[in-house]
Amino acid sequence: MGRWKPNARGRLELSALELFVERGYESTTVAEIAERAGLAKSTFFRHFSDKREVLFGGGDTLGRLFAEAIGGAPEATTPIGAVGAALDAAAVGFPEERRPWVRQRQVVIAGNSDLRERELLKRATLTAAMAEALRERGVPDRTASLGAEMGTLAFQNALDRWADPADQPDFAGIVRQELAALRAATAALG
For 90-120, what is each residue's pLDDT tens digit?
998 888 888 888 999 999 999 999 999 999 9
Every domain range in the chain assigned CATH 1.10.357.10: 58-188
Mean pLDDT of 180-184: 95
pLDDT at 4 over 60: no
- Alpha carbon 85 to chain centroid, angstroms: 16
Neighbours of 23 (CB within 10 A): 12
CATH code reported for the domain at 8-53: 1.10.10.60
pTM across the whole model: 0.86
CATH 1.10.10.60 domain locations along the chain: 8-53
User: In this prediction, what percent of the chain has a pLDDT beyond 70?
Assistant: 96
The confidence band for 167, taking pLDDT boundaries of 50, 70 and 90, is low
What's the chain's Rg over C-alpha atoms? 18
Q: What is the mean pLDDT of the chain?
A: 91
> Which of the four CATH numbers 2.60.40.10, 1.10.357.10, 2.40.30.10, 3.10.450.50 does domain 58-188 have?
1.10.357.10
Q: Please, are residues 97 and 119 in contact by the beta-carbon 8 Å criterion?
A: no
